[in-house]
Amino acid sequence: MANEATLFIRQLLRNPLQVSAVAPSSRWLAKAMAQGLGPDTGRVVEFGPGTGVLTRGILAAGVKPENLTLFEMSADFTAHLRANLPGVTVINAPAQTAPSTVPTGVNRVISGLPLLSMPPALRESIVRAAFDILEPGGLYVQFSYGSKPALSAEQLKRLGLTVGPGQRVWLNLPPAHVFHFRRA
């Protein structure tokens, strides 16, 4: 874990807007993000896994490594994930490229991306990419350090989505809100 902390700090110093967190996600946030997942979930995609804290929560919930695909932009995080998560597919590319790589029919997309620190158009393109690969009834799970979802009411309407709150995770630095996005 000390190696992961060093890797996280190095990435934070190199690109603070891309990391956009003061500490890696906690195991309690990972558990909240993975709620409802299990061995029969099917395919899961994670956007922005960083050091893999949420990824380990997904795997601990019972998702098989061969059913998990990660999209990570940092080459250093990608190398770390590939070395430490055998059987998991790790793609070194932006989340919005998922539809060109992943076939549709994904059950869930879990996102640790710092959407609130991104321009609104980029936020929308990332969430659109998630719904382009999700099966009907699929769920997009996003956490935020803010109390509101990362998309405005106008953006939600334009994308044909609804959003509901998941749990508030106090044992995270800073505390986080989990949001569940679905097709309207």
Domain ranges of the chain: 2-183
Which superfamily does 2-183 belong to? Answer: Vaccinia Virus protein VP39 (3.40.50.150)
pLDDT tens per residue, range 138-171 = 999 999 988 899 999 999 999 999 999 889 999 8
* pTM attached to this predicted model: 0.89
CB atoms within 10 A of CB 28: 15
pLDDT tens per residue, range 66-93 = 999 999 999 998 999 999 999 999 999 9
Alpha helices (H) in 34-111, listed in sequence order: 53-60, 75-84
Nearest to 83 by CA among 14, 145, 3, 146: 3
